[in-house]
């Protein structure tokens, strides 16, 4: 079984999050896109019993698409802290990879 894909390098370059993956691929994810895909309950909503996802109204400010920092969680996810203080979204490596539509999954 192949080792799960994980980023070996992550850095913010301009307005993009640049990732280098363990298979050598590189992803450049615009920060605005990244924020709009925030998977936390208050941004992304959670599926109800029928599996429907209620998208709550999310308002973004001018600082919502800037990154203050990020940290790795348990070797499977990245937790960004946005400049408006929002930090509850855990982006699994799988999600990050999926957000790069040019990358093979």
Residues making contact with Zn ion (CB under 5 A): 38, 40, 43, 89
Residues 96 and 50 sit within 8 Å (Cβ to Cβ): no
CA–CA separation, 59 and 31 (whole Å): 16
Cβ proximity to Zn ion, 19 vs 38, nearer residue? 38
Greatest distance between any 2 Cα atoms in the chain: 44
Residues in the chain: 105
Residues 83 and 68 sit within 8 Å (Cβ to Cβ): yes
Q: How far is the CB of 86 from Zn ion (least distance, A)?
A: 6
Q: How far is the CB of 8 from Zn ion (least distance, A)?
A: 26
Cβ proximity to Zn ion, 21 vs 99, nearer residue? 99
Q: How far is the CB of 52 from Zn ion (least distance, A)?
A: 19
Q: How far is the CB of 35 from Zn ion (least distance, A)?
A: 8
Cβ proximity to Zn ion, 12 vs 90, nearer residue? 90
Burial of 97 (0-12, 13-18, 19+ CB in 10 A): buried
Closest residue to bound Zn ion by CB: 43
């Amino acid at each position: 079984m192949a080792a799960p894909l994980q980023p070996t390098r992550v850095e913010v370059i301009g307005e993009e999050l640049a990732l280098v993956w363990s298979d050598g691929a590189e992803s450049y994810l615009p920060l605005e896109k990244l924020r709009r895909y925030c998977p936390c309950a208050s941004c992304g909503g959670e599926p109800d019993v029928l599996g429907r996802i209620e998208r709550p109204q999310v308002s973004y400010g001018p600082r919502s698409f800037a990154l203050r920092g990020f940290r790795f969680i348990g070797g499977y996810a990245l937790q960004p802290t946005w400049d408006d203080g929002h930090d509850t979204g855990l982006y699994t490596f799988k999600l990050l990879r999926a957000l790069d539509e040019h990358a093979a999954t």
